[in-house]
Amino acid sequence: MACPKRRWSKERTHLKRSTWKLDKLNLSKCSNCGEAVLSHITCPSCGFYDNKQVIVIKSKEKETK
Ligand SMILES: [Zn+2]
């Protein structure tokens, strides 16, 4: 098996650890309300998925009296 000739310098290790970025979330817009939603997930604000009402969402305004 091939084997590394020498170990990485501290600088190289620290450089590698310091330069990285989070992947962007797969956000798309809801076809009904235009809210940013995760793909393949029912819209949390209106309950629409695939242009159909899948779940009924109780609005928070009515709950708070
Ligand atoms: Zn929506």
pLDDT tens per residue across all 65 residues of the chain: 899 999 999 999 999 999 988 888 888 888 888 889 998 889 988 888 988 888 888 776 655 55
- Going from the Cα of 15 to the center of ligand 1, the distance in angstroms, rounded, reads 42
Residue 9 lies in a domain: no
Question: Is 16 inside any structural domain?
Answer: no
**CA of residue 23 to ligand 1 center, whole Å:** 24
Separation of CA 53 and ligand 1 centre (Å)? 9
Q: How far is CA 46 from CA 21, 40, 52, 60, in A?
A: 32, 15, 10, 12
**Number of domains, the chain:** 1
**pLDDT value for 18:** 93
Q: Is residue 31 part of a domain?
A: yes
- Residue 30 counted as domain residue: yes
Coil, strand or helix at 29:
strand
Residue 27 lies in a domain: yes
Residue 47 C-alpha to ligand 1 middle, in angstroms? 6
Q: What is the pLDDT of residue 63?
A: 53
Domain assignment present for 32: yes
Enclosing domain of residue 36: 22-63
Taking the model in full, what pTM does it have?
0.49
